[in-house]
Amino acid sequence: MFGKSGIEIVPILGAVAIVAYFALIITALAQVFRSTMPTNTKLLWLIVILIAPFIGSLIWFAVGRNSALL
C-alpha cells in the first residue's frame, strides 16, 4: 500500500508539519494585530512570538487571546 516500508509518507508529513508551524505563527501574529489591547501590550506579545515562535504562539492561544477579549 505504501511501497516498501511506507517511507514515501515521511516527506509529506514533514511538509504538513512545516505548513502547520507557519500557519500557527501567522495566525497568532494576525490575532495580536487585530486585538483591542493597548499598543505596548501588543508589542510585547509580538516580541514574545517572534523570539520564541512556537512556544510564544501557544502561550498566546492559551492566555493572551482570552485577555484580549476583556
The yes-or-no verdict on residue 69 having pLDDT over 80 is no
pLDDT tens figures, 8-52? 787 888 999 999 999 999 999 999 999 989 999 999 999 999 999
The yes-or-no verdict on residue 5 having pLDDT over 70 is no
First CA to last CA distance, the chain: 51
5: which 3 cell numbers?
A: 516500508
CA distance 1 to 45: 46
Enumerate the domain spans of the chain.
9-68
The yes-or-no verdict on residue 68 having pLDDT over 50 is yes
pLDDT at 70: 47
Q: What is the pTM assigned to this prediction?
A: 0.77
4: which 3 cell numbers?
A: 516498501
Residues 6+ apart with CB under 8 A from 31: 60, 65, 68
Packing angle of the helix pair 9-34, 39-51 (nearest 10 deg): 160
